[in-house]
């Protein structure tokens, strides 16, 4: 599973690098307007579920390219993680997590390249399942992220890291490669 995610990450990074090299005359700011995206990545757990699993993510947002080199926006996302393996009360168990996220996004644009940071809140649900283990957890907790993007003509490749600081279960981190289209 890890090799598949790594291969997809390299493929997305290669696509982003190709777009960057082809964009010699791009404008200094990022694209302004609404956007939609889809991504795949790796979810990492902590504590009793110190494991990795694949996840997928849907993203919608609005970017305001008001000033040269500065992008501001808002983003909504849904992330669904695979099963993290672990142990609860000495028994084998799995943990599945999904979340709805709302974040403010701020970034710097350098032509077709950009760096961004985001912060907001995630409403998450988690299910622990196993022999003698049947627990549901949920909460609303802070989520933070950093990323890079490369784009041309409204289509961008993004690589981002997000950290979900949960109270009910240990913290989760996600590395996601996404393709985003700005209308």
Domain coordinates of the chain in residue numbers?
2-182
Instruction: Give per-10-residue mean pLDDT for the chain (183 aa).
Output: 52 50 40 92 88 95 84 95 87 92 94 94 92 88 96 92 86 95 92
Structure token pair of residue 52: 């990795």
Cα–Cα distance list, 73 to 24, 31, 77, 90, 141 (Å): 25, 11, 13, 45, 20
- Structural class in CATH, domain 2-182: mainly beta
- Rounded CA gap, 148 and 50, in Å? 26
Give the pLDDT confidence score for residue 6 in this predicted structure.
52
DSSP string computed for 67-82: ETTEEEEEEEEEEEEE
Cα–Cα distance list, 86 to 63, 73, 139, 163, 174 (Å): 39, 37, 20, 20, 18
Whole-prediction pTM: 0.80
Give the pLDDT confidence score for residue 26 in this predicted structure.
37
């Amino acid at each position: 599973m890890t090799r598949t995610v790594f291969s997809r990450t390299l493929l997305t990074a290669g696509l982003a690098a190709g777009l960057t090299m082809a964009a010699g005359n791009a404008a200094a700011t990022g694209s302004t307007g609404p956007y939609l995206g889809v991504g795949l990545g790796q979810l990492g757990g902590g504590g009793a579920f110190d494991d990795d699993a694949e996840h997928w993510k849907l993203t919608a947002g609005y970017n305001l390219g008001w000033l040269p080199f500065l992008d501001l926006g808002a983003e909504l996302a849904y992330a669904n993680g695979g099963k993290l393996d672990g142990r609860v009360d000495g028994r084998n168990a799995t943990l599945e997590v999904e979340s709805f996220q709302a974040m403010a996004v701020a970034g710097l644009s350098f032509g077709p390249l950009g760096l961004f940071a985001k912060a907001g809140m995630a409403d998450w649900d988690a299910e622990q399942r196993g022999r003698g283990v049947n627990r549901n957890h949920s909460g609303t907790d802070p989520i933070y992220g950093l990323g890079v993007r490369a784009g041309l003509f409204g289509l961008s490749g993004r690589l981002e890291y997000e950290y979900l600081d949960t109270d009910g279960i240990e913290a989760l981190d996600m590395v996601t490669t996404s393709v985003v289209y700005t209308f």
